[in-house]
Structure 1
Amino acid sequence: MNRLKDATSPYLLQHADNPVEWFEWGEDAFAEAARRNVPLLISVGYSACHWCHVMAHESFEDEGTAALMNEHFVNVKVDREERPDVDAVYMAATQAMTGQGGWPMTVFATPGGHPFYTGTYFPRPQFQRLLAGVSNAWNGDREAVLEQSSKIVEALNERSALPSGPLPTPDTLARAVQSLSRSFDQVRGGFGGAPKFPPSMALEFLLRYGAAAEPRTGAEGGEPEDRREPGAGAGAGAGAPTATAMAGRTLEAMARGGIYDQLGGGFARYSVDADWVVPHFEKMLYDNALLLRVYAHWWRLTGSALGRRVALETADWLLAEMRTPEGGFASALDADSEGVEGKFYAWTPEEIHEVLGEEDGAWAVALYEVTGTFEHGTSVLQLLSDPDDAERSARVRAELLAARAHRVRPGRDDKVVAAWNGLAIAALAETGALFDRPDLVEAARAAAVLLDGSHMDGDRLLRTSRDGRAGANAGVLEDYADLAEGLLTLYGVTGEVRWFHRAGALLETVLDRFADGSGGFFDTADDAERLFQRPQDPTDNATPSGQFAAAGALLSYAALTGSARHREAAEAALGTVTVLADKHARFAGWGLAVAQAAVSGPVEAAIVGPLDDPATSALHRTALLSPAPGLVVALGEPGSAEVPLLEGRGLLDGAPAAYVCRGFTCRMPVTTPAGLRAELAS
């Protein structure tokens, strides 16, 4: 019997009609494996995973393969997005045993859950042979299998945690920039070769470093001025490029390449080539939330017109494509439609001519580089330079987008993940404030309301919900940390103190339930389900590591409260950054970004005045426009005391005032945007 029909995960529901007798992860599966005395076959994937679909079609929908699986194994299907802890421990085993990892992940384990053979995607003939071979080994030489499993688990548990060093210094951060420059692709942008993933966290660090340590390239003394981007080598000069130049070249290359949806907005998961042309087509919430914030910060630092455009298009895409009826944001869009990867996004010249006519069609084919770069003579669209005729470009884009709307759309995984919604809340709140888009701020607020309601169980956070109904899976470290980051950002934009208080409560749980006793954090709480290993990975992956995300939120909260406890916890968690900075900076981007904020203070801006006073709004906006790394903003009415940074701060001669502080030591208050800019610049 397939037991997935009542699952809440869209990924599990994709397998509910398989002839495989799937179990969800849980005690029922372990008990059944023990009763039958057969191994577990644990298959881990996610809804937008192309090769997960391929293996499902080839093997899990095949009656013969399913019969082998059902006869010899208890089969468990896991949504890695719902259970990142389960994914993490088995991915560690897979990487240790095979030297690589990925999804779908295929794990054979004892009835107790201890792995003894692992892999990723297997074509059906190979998979059938593997099923027979593993079953024969289990039945014919079980002692050897169990010994292998014991050695694997012992080796994984004996792996020493990543050593920790002192708090990073300015010299540590400079060495990290040098490390990144050694793998920087000056021609194409990005780091290393194909495949290329959006290096969102490293880009955030480079922008923060550029703001702190390099000459400003934006408009001094006012708001950033939109300007056309320079050429590919701009800012590099002779020798190594600057941090700002590396970030800018990469952001430009991604925005102009096929990895970015030139019609509808939003970024694909990664580029299979080094030129950012051919994407792996799924679109993930976390990528787009992180990139939205980075593009907005790029504009804030440099005045990039491209940064502004892409930030706003990505924000609009999030609201149009990813927002759920309850106000949250869905996890992902699939790579496939009609069983073909990328079919929704790719075009032939003939299709473009059919939509636009000959004259506009020829112009659009040239503009978007429709030269058969993908499969079957199709192309993804690129925009390697801005068109000379902006009005014509807007009209052509709108017509192509309208025509594309009639195609079969990729599927959407509409579960709401707390961590990724936290990233979206931060990005939308900041982008809305920077570009005067109150609808974006309202979208961030609505997501926060959903999470503050549906995802809270007392003081504990639940990881997922769907249709407004929370799942049973406990939040992991990244959920608490990313949501706290998002709520602190939302408070800084709106002045609504409830978000400050909720963030503080989440961080209390982080300190009480996740600390490892050595300055770091486990990825699961101390009362979470016991796996064969308690996951703990301080390095970034597709999203900021839970440890670095916690450090960032703790640092911001300390800056708003003056809490030495939170500051010390943040600094202790950043010790691994010092170890990673020289050779592995790409895997510590968020930690480096937080470390840059810590080295810089961070700067604290307290804005005091009636919230409906234009003078208060002008000071508030000036503060938010500052690129000071990790800047925290407290906003409140005169006499506000709930946020400690505001306590004792009042109007100046009856006028709204701004106080610029570091470590709760404040300079004289100012009452004008120009005065505040000067204080922030100093």
Structure 2
Amino acid sequence: MNQLSQETSPYLLQHANNPVHWKAWNEDSLAEAKEKNKLIIISIGYSACHWCHVMEHESFEDQQVADVMNAHFVNIKVDREERPDVDAVYMKAIQIMIGRGGWPLNVVTLPDGRPIWGGTYFRKQEWMQTLGQLQQIYQSAPEKMMEYAEKLHQGIQSIGIVPNENKETPIDQEQITSLVEKWEAHFDWDFGGMASAPKFMMPNNYHFLLRFAYQKKDNQLLEFVNITLTRMAFGGVFDTVDGGFSRYSVDNKWHVPHFEKMLYDNGQLVSLYSDAYKLTGNPLYKEIIEKTLSFVERELLNPEGGFYCALDADSLNAENHLEEGAFYVWKIPQLKMIIGDDFELFSQVFNINTFGLWEDGNYVLIQNQSLDEIAKQNTIAVSTLEKKKKTWEQKLYIEREKRSKPRLDDKCLTSWNAIMLKGFVDAYKALEEPKYLELALQNAHFIIKNLWSIDGNLFHNYKNKKSTINGYLEDYGWVIAGFINLYEVTFEEKWLLDAKQLTDYSLEHFYDEKLGFFAFTSNLDKALITSHHETEDNVIPASNSVMGKNLFQLGLYFENSHYEKVAERMLQNILPRISHPSVYSNWLDLALNYSEKNKELAVCGEKALEYCSKINSLYLPNVILAGTQKVSGLPFLKDRFVAGQTLFYVCQNKTCQTPSNDFQKIVSDLI
């Protein structure tokens, strides 16, 4: 057993019994490398990563490999979810070296942490051979390595730096239109998403495109977004039996997923489907929301109100071996036995045919027709088919629960919890199900109690009643966003005041005045080999774009010109550099806030909450909502409460219309 046995991360604990003398990323491990003048192997992964498990089994569990690693290297294992700062730095290095990245991420560095070689997954012999060569070079010609390390280090430092040009230029709405037109060339009109494989859901892309289509009244673009959301919901990437989405699809039709289920995907997708349901009323979207939140509550909610991180891609198969997707796939004899006389109809719905076949006789359930279409083909009522589908899924669920479940990553991460909190609030807005708000509030109190210290900082992680890692910008950004969202459905100003407190802390400890962006790590933390300013939106939007949207909204609520200026300046620096809009979709969403369509609405009066629910059930992405049932000290609401009346104030560009008590007129003005 190595030093990882002392850690709480499920990923690190998976490696605790490897013969490799793994250490965790900490000052002692890094100091040992310098003291002994040894190269460092930094191996980064996460608990639900399939190829991380494969490399562990092939190499890190092998004594021959361990002997090579232990003899000549200081070996450090990193959970990328616990240490996204470390992962980001070495991911930049890999992208420079080999032009791509992924996990497992394996890097060899000098004793000071500067990288000299790396890649992703390696087979045993290649891994051993390369390590041997690197050690030989380090002994015979260390100056060559140091020269290369310095050049690479300079390259890493330059990646992602956006020059702060201090241009106070108007936000060009036409540029956004041009970027969307350029983006459309890559749309897959058959299956939705981008015309490539593998396919990631990228919920923020469709959050933006949905809003853009709505505001521009672009019905063709709206159709594309709905095709995408429908195909994702029909695909094997969505677990129709138990709810929840897997991380991505390996093919172009959303059929066969990499089977891990991540909290951050499901939180964002619930928010996306909630917005889409508000706009379309599509019952399929409601089903997706309800099933996903049921899955999250059942499988990922801890007793304290926090959310666990993930379910693994791998699970034990019938032969008791770990196998990717073993928990989720079906063979025809099993299905016939479970479904019985309805098997032929079931096969039509879920494509137990060549379209739905994966490999080795395994089927991943996928739809390519609506229940309406299949009901017509079989001359049965849609309601009858809907009932049958629910019955089939219940039978499959009962049978599947007898299998060995995927392993659970039972740590809690602050940012991911806040993403899921926001998902529950957005679902509450769309469906008005009180339980969703209850769970969101429960999670918010969990964050405040366990992840927000008396010194004002957030922690990043929580497990076994311990938080050990200082929070990153992503933690602040998403918690602030979650608290703002709670305010929008409760009108409790406590949530805005908490959000403001965290924002002020972020400005003090993360904001880089010179660059005009927020650093990913606090200025109280020990510096890595380079700083990281996250500006590109990925599967999770960039922490800077999340903060930009928070600052925009809080600037309005608190009439804080500094918040507004920081948000606008970031956006002004980003927009001229956008060539691939899919990588900046959250920034583009922020840019839409500066269009003539954007408005603010204040609801003041005893019935404010009643109207709040009605407003939140509408798709109004261009409206910032505030309200109160009493006299308020919030600057945006100051002097707007009149006893005995419920008044609506519509504002734009800091100018408000005459207050009205006509709700229907107000709604028509906003839509």
TM-score, normalization by structure 2: 0.93
SS in 2 for 1:604: strand
Shift of 1:540: 0.9
Residue in 2 aligned with 1:174? Answer: 177
Q: In the alignment, is residue 598 of structure 1 matched against residue 594 of structure 2?
A: yes
Give the distance between the partners of 2:189 and 2:338, measured in 1 at CA: 37
- Confirm whether residue 185 of structure 1 aligns to residue 183 of structure 2: no
- The alpha-carbon deviation at position 156 of structure 1 amounts to 2.1
Counterpart CA distance in 2 for 1:599 and 1:16 is 54
Shift of 1:77: 0.4
Q: Measure, in 1, the Cα distance between the counterparts of 2:423 and 2:173.
A: 27
Give the whole-Å Cα distance in 1 for the aligned partners of 2:119 and 2:628.
54
Equivalent residue in structure 1 for 2:198, among 195, 200, 206: 195
- For residues 604 and 585 of structure 2, the distance between their equivalents in structure 1, rounded to whole angstroms, comes to 34
The aligned counterpart of 2:276 is 298
User: What is aligned with 2:637?
Assistant: 646
The residue identity in structure 1 corresponding to 2:294 is D
Identity of aligned residues (%): 34
Q: Report the AA paired with residue 620 of structure 1.
A: C
Per-residue deviation at 1:157? Answer: 2.1
Structure 1 residue 210, shift from structure 2 partner: 1.9
Residues 398/671 of structure 1: CA separation in 2 closer, same or farther (3 Å cut): farther
1:272 to 244, 250, 253: 250
Offset, 1:600: 4.8
The letter for the 2-side match of 1:506 is: L
Aligned partner of 1:80 in structure 2 is 80
Match of 2:362 in 1: 378
Aligned length: 647
Q: Do residues 533 (structure 1) and 526 (structure 2) align?
A: no
Task: For residues 619-652 of structure 1, give each alpha carbon's deviation from its aligned partner in whole angstroms, at most 9, with x where no partner exists.
Answer: 11222134333533223222122x2222211247
Distance 1:515 1:630, change over 3 A: farther
Q: How does 1:276-675 map to 2 (within 5 A)?
A: 276-338=254-316, 339-357=322-340, 359-371=341-353, 373-387=357-371, 388=375, 389-457=385-453, 458-470=455-467, 472-517=468-513, 518-581=515-578, 583-600=579-596, 602-610=598-606, 615-641=607-633, 643-651=634-642, 654-675=644-665
Residue 297 of structure 1 deviates from its aligned partner by 0.5
* C-alpha deviation, 1:577, in angstroms: 4.1
Structure 1 residues 346, 168: closer, same or farther in 2, change over 3 A?
farther
2:64 match? 64
CA apart distance, 1:576: 4.3
Q: Does 1:146 align with 2:146?
A: yes
- Give, in whole Å, the separation in 2 of the partners of 1:569 and 1:265: 40
Correspondence for 2:234: 256
> Does structure 2 retain, via aligned residues, the 8 Å contact 1:205–1:596?
no
Secondary structure of the 1:450 match is helix
Aligned partner of residue 74 in structure 1, secondary structure: strand
Secondary structure of residue in 2 paired with 1:5: helix
Counterpart in the other structure of 2:667? 677
With 88-97 and 594-603 compared, the bigger mean Cα shift is at 594-603
Q: What CA distance in whole angstroms lies between the structure 2 residues aligned with 1:426 and 1:76?
A: 35
Q: Distance in 2 between matches of 1:167 and 1:73?
A: 54
1:58, 1:123 within 8 Å by CA — same for their partners in 2? Answer: yes
Amino acid at match of 1:137: I
Secondary structure at the aligned position of 1:148 is classed as helix
The 8 Å contact of residues 344 and 409 in structure 1, kept in 2 or not, is answered as yes
* Amino acid aligned to 2:198: P
The amino acid of 1:66's aligned partner reads: A
SS at 2:241 equivalent? coil
CA contact (8 A) 2:50 2:324 kept: yes
CA distance in 1, matches of 2:402, 2:439: 27
On the 8 A contact 1:417/1:465 being kept in 2, the answer is yes
> Which deviates further from its counterpart, 527-536 or 657-666?
657-666
Identify unmatched segments of 5+ residues in structure 2. Answer: 317-321, 376-384
Deviations 1:226-281 (A, max 9, x none): xxxxxxxxx54xxxxx2x22211111111111111111111111111111111111
The answer to whether the Cα contact below 8 Å between 1:295 and 1:311 also exists between their aligned partners in 2 is: yes
Indicate if the aligned counterparts of 2:23 and 2:76 stay in contact, CA closer than 8 A: yes
The answer to which of 33-42 and 364-373 deviates more is 364-373
Offset at residue 162 of structure 1 (A): 2.9
Cα distance in 1 between the residues matched to 2:390 and 2:369: 14
Give the conservation status (yes or no) of the 8 Å contact 1:560–1:644: yes
> 5+ residue gaps in structure 1?
216-234, 237-241
Letter in 2 for 1:263: V
Superposed CA RMSD in Å reads 1.8
- Per the alignment, in what secondary structure is the counterpart of residue 43 of structure 2? strand
- Report what 1:14 is aligned to: 14
